[in-house]
């Protein structure tokens, strides 16, 4: 699947500013900060969209968080292998296609392209591997074969299920008890009450063909992949085992990330990821933004209304990536004022020395991607005067490299 075009990212070392530190991030599995050190490529997997509707600010906030992580790694001097999926066949997509009378393939491509456009406008760095579920059928079937060999697959009618307790560590990522798991599993696409399952939490690997729905041939009969195994298979193919970060919104901790990790661990005998990093939820009108509820602020609508994409980006950066927060339209106005202030400051012939600002932004971003602290540091620099003629250029470059904001 085609990705979008990444913006060029300035290298601060080229300005004689050296390299930044390894980032630390909050690992959901341990509940503590984990330093993402190491040499060689940094490997990142972030769960992508199910393309049945347009990108809302909750989506954008999540992908922006992992854009920041990539920028900190790059400033450290590491290359990043970033993989993201597109769940371009799934129940919500098929249901929306039927409801709107649009072919499901056409709907998926239309909304995926809109997502690409939004990510491009927001200057989010593109994944190296942008992979659809439809093009990954063979990968999924290969992973199912590995799970079968491990004795972790069984059949209910013509569907295949994964025995989650084949993984002794199942539950370690979310830390939830059985009752909490069962409730969330039912709310988030699972089928805990299906008759014939060994355990209510066992999850679907391969769904047999249903009337009127797309299906692909397989040794198990025609059908399509389950959600969790899709991401496990794509991540293992493009990143290998024990990659650096599995990321996404906090609503994916359970069941999605828990089950993907268990499937991968049972199949390979290795941990799936070193850290599980999750962005908070964005609300509107008192409730989490949700396609199913329709309480959305769409990135494309804000752009069409004339909002500068960099102001949209700044409005999102004003909230720490792990926080849950609520969108109010006044935030777009405040972000535009901040953007105008910054642009005016870097347009001056001189400014305060930039060394302290560079250090402050690097420190904030390396410490759990603390974008609000970084924004405050730039605000403070922009409010002062100085006679350093190189400073405005340095600040413009730092804001571009680490915050992704084009001034």
Report pLDDT for 53. Answer: 87
Q: How far apart are CA 21 and CA 8, in angstroms?
A: 21
Residue 38's pLDDT band, with cuts at 50, 70 and 90, is confident
pLDDT tens-digit map of 49-80:
999 988 999 999 999 999 999 999 999 999 99
More confident residue, 286 or 69: 69
Give the predicted TM-score (pTM) of the model. 0.97
Q: Which residues are CB-contacts of 182 (< 8 A; sequence separation ≥ 6)?
A: 192, 200, 201
pLDDT tens-digit map of 350-378:
999 999 999 999 999 999 999 999 999 99
**Mean pLDDT, to the nearest integer, of 28-51?**
96
Helices 391-398 and 330-346 meet at what angle, rounded to 10?
A: 140
Report pLDDT for 122. Answer: 98
DSSP 21: P
Report pLDDT for 341. Answer: 98
The Cβ of residue 32 has, within 10 Å, a number of other Cβ atoms equal to 9
323-335 residues labelled b (16+ CB within 10 A) or e (exposed):
eeeebeeebbeeb
> CA 37 from chain center: how many Å?
20
The Cβ of residue 406 has, within 10 Å, a number of other Cβ atoms equal to 15
Report pLDDT for 164. Answer: 98
Q: How far apart are CA 204 and CA 63, in angstroms?
A: 27
Count Cβ atoms within 10 A of the Cβ of residue 9 and give its class: 0-12 exposed, 13-18 middle, 19 or more buried.
middle
**Mean pLDDT, to the nearest integer, of 287-313?**
91
**Mean pLDDT, to the nearest integer, of 24-34?**
98
Instruction: Check pLDDT > 80 for residue 17.
Output: yes
Instruction: Check pLDDT > 80 for residue 295.
Output: yes
pLDDT tens-digit map of 153-210:
999 999 999 999 999 999 999 999 999 999 999 999 999 999 999 999 999 999 999 9
Report pLDDT for 85. Answer: 98
Q: Using alpha carbons, select from 404, 334, 332 the residue that is nearest to residue 64.
A: 404
SS3 176: coil
Report pLDDT for 284. Answer: 94
Report pLDDT for 294. Answer: 77
Q: Using alpha carbons, select from 286, 276, 316 the residue that is nearest to residue 55.
A: 316
Report pLDDT for 290. Answer: 80
Output the average pLDDT for the chain.
96
Report pLDDT for 389. Answer: 97
Instruction: Check pLDDT > 80 for residue 291.
Output: no
DSSP 323: -
């Amino acid at each position: 699947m085609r990705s979008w075009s990444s913006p060029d990212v300035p290298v601060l070392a080229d300005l004689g500013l050296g390299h930044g530190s390894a980032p630390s991030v909050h690992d959901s599995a341990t509940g503590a900060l984990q330093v993402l050190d190491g040499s060689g490529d940094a490997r990142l997997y972030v769960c992508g969209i199910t393309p049945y509707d347009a990108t809302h600010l909750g989506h954008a906030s999540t992908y922006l968080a992992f854009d920041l992580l990539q920028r900190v790694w790059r400033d450290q001097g590491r290359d990043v292998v970033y993989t993201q999926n597109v769940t371009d066949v799934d129940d919500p997509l098929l249901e929306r296609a039927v409801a709107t009378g649009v072919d499901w393939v056409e709907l998926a491509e239309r909304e995926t392209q809109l997502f690409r456009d939004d990510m491009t406008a927001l200057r989010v760095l593109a994944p190296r591997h942008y992979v659809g579920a439809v093009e990954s059928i063979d990968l999924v079937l290969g992973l199912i074969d590995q799970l079968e060999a491990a004795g972790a697959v069984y059949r209910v009618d013509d569907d295949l299920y994964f025995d989650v307790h084949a993984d002794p560590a199942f539950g370690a990522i979310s830390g939830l008890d059985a009752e909490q798991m069962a409730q969330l599993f039912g709310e988030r696409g699972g089928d805990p009450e299906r008759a014939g399952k060994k355990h209510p939490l066992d999850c679907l690997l391969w769904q047999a063909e249903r009337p009127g729905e797309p299906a692909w041939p397989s040794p198990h009969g025609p059908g399509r992949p389950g959600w969790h195994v899709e991401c496990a298979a794509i991540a293992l193919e493009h990143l290998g085992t024990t990659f650096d970060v599995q990321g996404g919104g906090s609503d994916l901790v359970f069941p999605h990330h828990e089950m993907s990790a268990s499937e991968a661990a049972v199949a390979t005998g290795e941990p799936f990821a070193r850290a599980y990093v999750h962005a908070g939820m964005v609300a509107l009108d008192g409730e989490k933004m949700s396609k199913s509820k329709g309480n959305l602020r769409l990135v494309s609508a804000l752009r069409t209304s004339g909002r500068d994409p960099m102001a949209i980006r700044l409005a999102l950066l004003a909230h720490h990536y792990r926080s849950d927060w609520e969108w109010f339209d006044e935030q777009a106005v405040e972000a535009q004022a901040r953007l105008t202030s910054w642009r005016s400051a870097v347009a001056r012939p001189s400014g305060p020395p930039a060394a302290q600002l560079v250090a402050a932004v690097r420190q904030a971003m390396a410490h759990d991607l603390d974008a609000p602290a970084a924004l405050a540091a730039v605000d403070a620099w922009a409010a002062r005067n100085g006679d350093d003629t190189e400073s405005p250029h340095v600040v413009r470059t730092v804001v571009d490299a680490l915050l992704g904001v084009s001034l």
